[in-house]
Chain A
Amino acid sequence: MTSSSPAPESPRSPLQRFLDERLGLASLRALLEHKTVPEHRHAFWYVWGGMVLFLFLVQVATGILLLLYYRPGAGEAYESVQFIVTRVRWGWLVRSLHSISANLLMLALLVHLASVFFLRAYRRPRELTWVTGVGLFFVFITFGFSGYLLPWNQLAFFATSVGTEVPRAIPWVGPFLVKLIRGGPDVTGATLSRFYGLHVAILPATTTLLLGAHLYLVQRHGMSVPRDVEEKGPPMPFYPNFLLRDMIGWFVALGVLVTIIVLAPTAPMGALFPFDALFDPKHLLELGTKADPFASAPEGIKPEWSFLFMYQTLKLLPAKLAGVDGETLGVLGFGAGAAVLLLVPFLDRGASGLPPNAFSRVGGAVVVALGLVLAGLGTWSMHVLGHPLGVAGGLVAAAWIVVSVLLDGRRAGRRAGPSLLFPSLGWLAVAFIVVMTVIGRIS
């Protein structure tokens, strides 16, 4: 016998009705039910943003747990982390999760950034999504840098001393910036307090704002489909189809995390796993020794892998170049690179189908100059290391930039369209970073 009452559109329990009436969840449900994700041959790259979000949430959860036992302060920080990993139940797991997940987060972030860049998902109207995303990228780098010091061990102390010394090369404001970052002339307990405040308060607040804006913009504009790519049939519903696919990725990430942790329980953030595991088992040990400002720097000290390319580049630059300090040029070059990254949507107007304007012309010239410098540096580093193939590679890269500019210039007169220049420069930058990181790791 069938029920006499009409079947509701979707079954709602008393709890759901209670929440609906008070929180207005109906609109959220409508969004979830109507949100779709395009399907095409590049749709795989859509999962990486969600992966970054998942790993960030892992960081938040494990970070909050660590906060309950961690004590900031030069006298107690090291001991409190030692306490967490040796005495607190599951403390080793929480600390290792936080440490390893930070590395995976950086990797996922780089993949997400690269995929958005090469698919040109930054083009109109998603410029601000890109800008907030790059802002988040810089915030996460700062998270990593500030968090690295918190255990207050030898490695972190010296890595921070070296890393915070780099801004000194910036003209005029350099020494002031160094003092501001360190909370004094040297790395001391004051630096630890400052980095702690940054890591647990200032950066999370900034992330909340930027992430909120970023996610809102992604919802507002939907997923970008690359130009000239055919969509394969109707779009996939976000809920539950795409979300479930996203979650497969999250489970895989969780599996990778746990595998790394079990095989290398306390790998410090600086380990480029598994190479360090294979070549230098010391890096898989616990905390190392407590920071001692009067001890010599440990042998073979290097920054963590995500900063290695900068470290290696600064090492390779000559002391003086055209009368300017090599290090100053290097730091200013990286600053220019960061500015270019932020402004990509406004420089690559062709991607949005817009003709170039004065800003994009000037910016484009700066970008080309930076690209040639990168190719030159890469060629020089290969020459210094005695790799003739690498030298040839650098020269080919420089030549290709020039060719791309010429080809773009010829096409601009005929029709506005995506340029060759930006993807070429993107690949050059990727190659440069990878090569410098590998050289930095093995030398």
Chain B
Amino acid sequence: MSDPEPTRREFVDLMVAGALGMTAIAAIVPAVSYLVPPEGGEAQTTSTVLPFAAEELPANSGRIFKFGSKPALVVKTAGGEIRAFSAQCTHLSCIVQYAPAERRILCNCHSGWYDLTGKNVAGPPPRPLEAYVVNLRRRPGGPEHDIVVSRA
């Protein structure tokens, strides 16, 4: 005896279940994919304004500042030019500092040295420091300038 044909109700139920199922898949697949974090981990700051004016930074000195959640170093050369770099040593991520006597950047942990372009010039650091773009922006109503540091 052959199977009876599906009733109208059973057919409609099947169509509805199919439609709902496909909608659910269309929602769940991107949601699950969304949950997998992308390579490169987390949101990164692309630009920041330093909390002090360019004129407050003495020549031939450096200062550490926060770039997003990472440490960074701003240096004013003897000639008055302002440069900024990531302050994390490329050797083992110690925080570097500016050495005015040598006019270079020093990592105290293992005596790694970088020049004022960020290039690793002595010691164990394997790579240069990441250099950032520095722009100066005149503050409204005054002669001073904001230091705006952005990722290159």
A residues apposed to B, CB below 8 Å: 61, 65, 68-69, 71, 75-76, 79-80, 82-84, 87-91, 93-94, 240, 244, 251, 254, 290, 294
Q: B31 near A65 (CB under 8 angstroms)?
A: yes
6 A-B pairs with C-beta separation under 8 A: A65-B31, A65-B35, A68-B35, A76-B68, A89-B30, A251-B19
Chain B residue, CB-CB nearest to A62: B31
Chain A residue at minimum C-beta to C-beta distance from B34: A90
Bound-state CA distance A199–B16 (Å) is 35
Q: Which residue of chain B has its CB nearest to the CB of A294?
A: B140
- How many chain-B residues does the 8 Å CB contact rule pick out? 24
Q: Which residue of B lies closest to A70 (CB)?
A: B43
A80 to B37, CA, bound (A): 13
Chain B residues within 8 Å of A, Cβ to Cβ = 16, 19, 23, 27, 30-31, 33-38, 40, 42-48, 66, 68-69, 140
Beyond contacts A75-B68, A79-B43, A79-B46: 13 other A-B pairs, Cβ-Cβ < 8 A, are A61-B31, A65-B34, A65-B35, A68-B35, A75-B66, A76-B69, A79-B44, A82-B43, A90-B31, A91-B34, A94-B30, A244-B16, A251-B23
Across the interface, do A89 and B33 meet the contact criterion of CB distance under 8 Å?
yes
Which residue on B lies nearest to A93, using beta carbons? B30
Task: Select one of A71, A89, A251, A290 contacting B43, CB under 8 A.
Answer: A71
Whole-angstrom distance between the Cβ of B13 and the nearest chain A Cβ: 8
B43 in contact with A69 (CB, 8 Å): yes
* Cα(A61)–Cα(B28), bound, Å: 11
A12–B42 Cα distance when bound, in Å, is 49
Which residue of chain B lies nearest to A65 when distances are taken between CB atoms in the complex?
A: B34
Q: Are B68 and A88 in contact (CB under 8 A)?
A: no
| Chain A residues positioned under 8 Å from B66 (CB to CB) | 75
A90→B33 CA distance, assembly (Å)? 7
Selected from B23, B34, B43, B69, the residue in CB contact (under 8 A) with A83 is B43
Minimum CB–CB distance from B141 to chain A (whole Å) comes to 11
Distance to closest chain A CB from B68 (angstroms): 7
Most chain-A Cβ atoms within 10 A of its Cβ — which of B33, B35, B43?
B43
Point out the residues of chain B lying under 8 angstroms from A87, CB to CB: 38, 40
Instruction: Decide: B34 and A80 in contact? CB cutoff 8 A.
Output: no
Q: Are A79 and B68 in contact (CB under 8 A)?
A: yes
Q: Would you list the 5 A-B pairs with minimal beta carbon distance, nearest first?
A: A83-B43, A90-B30, A80-B43, A79-B43, A90-B34
Inter-chain contact A89/B36, CB cutoff 8 Å: yes
- Measured between beta carbons, the chain A residues less than 8 angstroms from B30 are 89-90, 93-94
Task: Give the CA-CA distance A290 to B48 in the complex, in Å.
Answer: 10
Distance (whole angstroms) from the CB of B152 to the closest CB of chain A? 16
Least CB separation from B29: chain A residue: A90
| Residue in B34, B40, B68, B69 whose beta carbon sits within 8 Å of that of A89 in the complex | B34
Q: How far is the CB of B20 from chain A (nearest CB, A)?
A: 8
Q: Which residues of A contact B48 (CB under 8 A)?
A: 75
Q: Give bound CA distance, A91 to B38, whole Å.
A: 10
Give the distance in Å from the alpha carbon of A61 to the alpha carbon of B19 in the complex. 20
Partner among B16, B31, B45 whose Cβ is within 8 Å of the Cβ of A76? B45
- What's the least CB distance linking B101 to chain A, in Å? 34
Chain A residues contacting B69 (CB-CB under 8 Å) are 76
Q: How far is the CA of A335 from the CA of B19 in the complex (A)?
A: 45
Cα of A204 to Cα of B66 in the assembled complex, Å: 34
A82 to B40, CA, bound (A): 14
Q: Which one of A61, A83, A94 lies within 8 Å of B42 (CB-CB)?
A: A83
Note all chain B residues with C-beta closer than 8 A to A254.
23
- B43 in contact with A76 (CB, 8 Å): yes
Residue in contact with B44 in the complex, picked from A69, A83, A90, A251, CB distance below 8 Å = A83
Give the docked Cα–Cα distance between A289 and B23 (Å): 35
Query: Within 8 Å CB of A83, what residues of B?
Result: 42-44
Q: What residue of chain B has the Cβ atom nearest to residue A254's Cβ?
A: B23
Cα–Cα distance between A208 and B9 once the two chains are bound (Å): 36
In the complex, are the beta carbons of A89 and B38 less than 8 A apart?
Answer: yes
Set of chain B residues within 8 Å of A290, measured between Cβ atoms: 47
